[in-house]
Structure formats: structure tokens, C-alpha cells
Amino acid sequence: MRHHNDPPRVLFVVAALVALATSAAGAAPPWSIQRSLAASATESTSPHAVVLSAPWDDAPGVLSDGNTYFYLVKDGSGVTLPVSVEKNPLLDTVRLGFDDGDPTSAPVDGQSSSVTVAPPSVPADGLSSAWITILPRDADGLLLGAGLAVSVDLVALWPGTLAGSLVDLGNGMYIGRVVSMVPGRGDVWVDVEGTSLADEPTIDFESTGPLSLRDLAMLQLDGLTSPGGTFDLLVAGLEASTDPGASEVVQAKADALASLGTLLAGNPQTDDEAIKDQLKAAVIDLTDALRNPGSVDPAAIETLLEDVLDVARLVAQYWFDIAEAQCSQSARTDWTRLDQAEQSLVNGDVSLANEEWVGAITHYGKSIEKSQLAMRDCR
């Protein structure tokens, strides 16, 4: 990592991002700081400092001594770590930030740190995003850099949910994308290295109109698959790589998330595919988990299966109602497809009552397909 006494700010940012993309943070202290006046010599230099935590400030004077410095940080096993570089004008030195594996080591100041949201309000459509930007600072207002343990309270954020994980940009800034399918207001409560930040902005999720059965299905599916939702609770504390039940549940969540993404895309013609292929795959995964649950509670797996199938039924009923209304207003009298859609809906309910999980999802998918064909026939 290069440092000059008066470098372009963008150099710090780009270099840190490249390091994050190509290196993995180590987890074995102590941390060795290597420094040289030439990039080619940095790897071979003796440690300039050995430290037990991050961030780390170099000796005073390096910001103004006219030299160009190159830094390298390694953990106790010799793994090179991604770092961020910041100016510390109070000490006239350079601050290096990196992941020291300790979630409470950084001197975070809750008042000096900042949390902002943009925009402050978004439609509750499951797609529109509000971005959280977090800048952790010390008591002097200086950025603490990369590698910090940062979290958002997901309960306070509801009805908003994080779309993915918080991202460490490698320059002292952390960002997260928030979406919602439910109108309301979410509070952004942030914890950095064990310190609660004083800034607590809110995000308003504005109603886009009455919820349809399809909206309710997506809302329910979002609740099941969101961080800390039912899927996550089912395998909390279990290792998916060694527990067969947990492995199937994790795969089922991935399939359910794919289905939610298809439904959120807003193309009605793909709804049957979302149910027939993606959500059906999730049901198959869960039935496999039920046969070999490992440490996962079988009763909880059955409850989750019922919840997933309830999502499929809501979507199937939504399309049947639309098809029935359209055909009722049409001059065409061939109700064959609609009758087939209704029978598939009934068959799905019977299968669900008999705990024939795969059969139920198959019938609901077929009902959606037949309802959409009925609408085509009734035009």
C-alpha cells in the first residue's frame, strides 16, 4: 500500500478496493507492519511494527517528511491483509485500517461516527432501494478504516430488510441496500465494534396501494427468507457442511430466494415458472431434510414446508381469481382451462392436507399455468 506525504485521495480508495478484491483477511495475531521507501522492497523488509489490534497509526511526521512510503500488513501466519489508508493530521501520521479479527478493538466513538440514509423514503414495492452509509470514526472525528465489525439491527429496521450484506468499501465507509414490501417506517440502528452509533435515521416505506394476494405471497416469502427469518432460525448454530438437514435447508433458502426474485421481477408470465421450478426445488430440498434432518427439528421443517406451500397457494389463487373475472366478462364460453385450473387448486389443497408436499406444489404450479392459459382463451 503506497503512501506519499501529499497523495491524491483517490489513490487510497482505489488501492484499498483492489486489495479487498484479491486478498482474504487473516485471523492470527500479531499483525506485522512492513514499510519501505520502494514498492519492490516492502515484501523483504523487516517488520516496521508488530501490533495486536487495528487501526494502527504510524510514527508522527510521515505526512510531512517528504518521503513516499509503501505499507504491507501480514497476520501471524504470514497472510497479507487488505488495508485502508487514511491521513491522521492530528498526529501528522498515516492510519492503516485492517481486519484484526477482534469485533471490539477499534476505538469507535458513537457521537463522532455517522449514519446516513438516501433517499429517506422509497416505495414499498420490494425493488426500490434506500442506501445506508456508515462512517465509523474515533473521538477525534477521524475515520477508523476498513475491517471493522459493523451490524444493523434487523428488528428495528423492519419492515425494511437488508438486500444482501453490508459492504466494506475498504476506505472507511460501509454501505447497505434496504428494500421493503410493507408500508411503514424502519429505524436504522448501527453497532460498530460493540459501540452503538448515535445517529439513528429512519426510512419511510410508502404504500403503493392495496396488497393483492400475490403481494401477500411475496411478503410472506420475504419474511421467510430475510436475514434472521424462518430459514435462518431453523439452522442457527448448525454447520451446513457437516449437518445433512442444515445443508438441505440452506439450499432450500437459496431456491426460495430465487423464486422471490422471479416474482419481484414483475413479469406475470414467469409466475408459474417461479412456483413450478424454483419454489418446487425448495420444497424438494425441505422434504429431503425431513427424511434426514440431522440436528434440525423435524416439526419445524414441516411448519416451514406449510409456510412455503401457503406462498404457492396464494399466487395460484391470485391468478385463478383474475382468470375467472376475465372469463366471466368474455363472450367466449369455453371454460375448460379455468375448470382445469380450479381442479388443480383443489388437488393442491388435498395434497397439502395429506402432507404430500411435492404433490401440492406441483398442483399449484399447474393451476397458475392453466389460469394463464384460460385468460388467453377468454380474450
Tell me the pLDDT tens digit for each residue of 72-108. Answer: 999 988 899 999 999 999 989 999 999 998 899 999 9
- Alpha-carbon span 197 to 193, nearest angstrom: 10
Give percent of the chain above pLDDT 70. Answer: 92
Backbone angles phi, psi at 306, to 5 degrees: -65, -40
Give the per-residue pLDDT at 1. 45
Give the per-residue pLDDT at 29. 82
Mean of the pLDDT values across residues 62-74? 92
**pLDDT digits 0-9 by tens, 324-334:** 998 888 776 66
Bridge partner list, 55: none
Give the per-residue pLDDT at 264. 84
**pLDDT digits 0-9 by tens, 171-205:** 999 999 999 888 899 999 999 999 999 999 999 99
Contact 278, 256 (CB under 8 A): yes
Instruction: Give the CATH superfamily of 114-206.
Output: Immunoglobulins (2.60.40.10)
- Alpha-carbon span 132 to 175, nearest angstrom: 5
Q: Where in the chain is the domain with CATH 2.60.40.10?
A: 114-206
Contact 90, 31 (CB under 8 A): no
Give pTM, 2 decimals.
0.63
Give the per-residue pLDDT at 212. 87
Contact 296, 230 (CB under 8 A): no
Res 25 pLDDT > 80: no
DSSP for residue 76: T
Res 67 pLDDT > 70: yes
The band of 379, judged by pLDDT with boundaries at 50, 70 and 90, is confident
Contact 296, 235 (CB under 8 A): yes
Bridge partner list, 87: 94
For 124, the grid coordinates are 414499498
